[in-house]
Chain A
Amino acid sequence: MGERKALGGSTLGDRVAYFGVFTALALIFSYVETLIPIQFGIPGVKLGLANLVIVAVLYKATLKEAYLLTVVRVLLAGFIFGNYFSIIYSLAGALLSLSVMALLKRAGGFSVIGVSIAGGVFHNIGQLLIAMAVVETFQVVYYVPALLIAGLLTGCVIGILTREMLKRLVNLKF
């Protein structure tokens, strides 16, 4: 994180407040997504609007907070909109996705869009791995091309949106 001018400093109180706002935002996006299911013709593929907040936090806050937000968001969204299975799959996808995004961001040379694309792709790969473990079959490999391309496209959309969001949050730091 650069030592740029911050909107409200970063005391513990500020961080807690921002964290709450971002958690609420991620939850709202999860909810909006259940309202508008964007169908890609492949079962289980979603736009992943909540990922928008995760990517933004990855760029605006520390990695620790991004991980914490991911876990909190997946658990809350899972309890409210999903079920036991959806929590497991979401968690696997989201954590792998965030780890890869953090690595690419640290590696440098990637734009927000590139990082987000990797996030989208690895979100799908994480879920696929869990699916393989649960159903004890390798047949799900059949979905790999579709999931990769879907992750690429959704990651790209989320990347562009996050970029626009970050442009408008230059002064925010927590």
Chain B
Amino acid sequence: MKLNLKEKIDLQKKDWILIAIIVFVAGLAFLLHGLIGGKGAGCVTVKVKGEIQGVYSLAEDRVIEINDGTNILKIRNGTADMAKANCPDKLCVNQRAISKNGESIICLPNEVVVTVDSSENSEFDAVAQ
């Protein structure tokens, strides 16, 4: 994580402190996520505009139409992947498949959120409004 800076760029001491803090917080958040998000096939929760539309197991392969077909989610080999979306940017479609607890695919234009919860650990349900 060393930055390749040209020697004539004289970064101040405070700059390095800032960089260190950012890297530290990023590392901390990463570790926290690693601790909370366990592995193992759980289920995916599909939410549209903050409301839960359905919970599907990652164990069985299937194709889910979300929001009357604006988004199509494919579950295959224990992972969930957004196969189609009618939004212009297609960020959710380009995103890689999710399988770990806490991972999510989000389609902002359609306000679709797909998150992985392990079957035992469903503490996140309490967070959702």
Any A CB within 8 A of the CB of B78:
no
Cβ–Cβ < 8 Å partners of B108 in chain A: 85, 89, 131, 134-135
B interface residue count range (under 10 / 10 to 19 / 20 to 34 / 35 or more):
35 or more
Compute how far the CA of A149 lies from the CA of B25 in the bound complex, rounded to whole angstroms. Answer: 10
Contact of A139 with B113 at beta-carbon distance under 8 Å, contacts A113-B9, A113-B15, A114-B11 already known: yes
Any B CB within 8 A of the CB of A15:
no
Cβ-defined contact, B33 with A43, below 8 A: no
**Nearest-Cβ distance from residue A40 to partner chain B, whole angstroms:** 12
Residues of A within 8 A of B (CB): 43-44, 83, 85-86, 89, 104, 109-111, 113-114, 117-118, 121, 131, 134-142, 144-145, 148-149, 151-153, 156, 160, 163
Which residues 91-129 of B have a CB within 8 angstroms of A?
91-92, 94-95, 102-104, 106, 108-109, 111, 113, 115, 124, 127-129
Cβ-defined contact, B106 with A131, below 8 A: yes
Cβ–Cβ < 8 Å partners of A83 in chain B: 88, 109
**Nearest-Cβ distance from residue A121 to partner chain B, whole angstroms:** 6
**Nearest-Cβ distance from residue B73 to partner chain A, whole angstroms:** 15
Task: List 11 interface pairs A-B (beta carbons < 8 Å), by A numbering.
Answer: A43-B94, A85-B109, A110-B12, A110-B15, A113-B15, A114-B19, A137-B50, A139-B124, A142-B103, A144-B29, A153-B3
Cβ-defined contact, B109 with A148, below 8 A: no
Which residues 9-53 of B have a CB within 8 angstroms of A?
9-15, 18-19, 22-23, 25-27, 29-30, 33, 37, 47, 49-50
Compute how far the CA of A138 lies from the CA of B91 in the bound complex, rounded to whole angstroms. Answer: 19
**Cβ-defined partner of B106 (8 Å) among A110, A118, A140, A153:** A140
Compute how far the CA of A171 lies from the CA of B79 in the bound complex, rounded to whole angstroms. Answer: 57
**Nearest-Cβ distance from residue A122 to partner chain B, whole angstroms:** 10
Q: Which of A113, A142, A156 has the most CB of B within 10 A?
A: A142
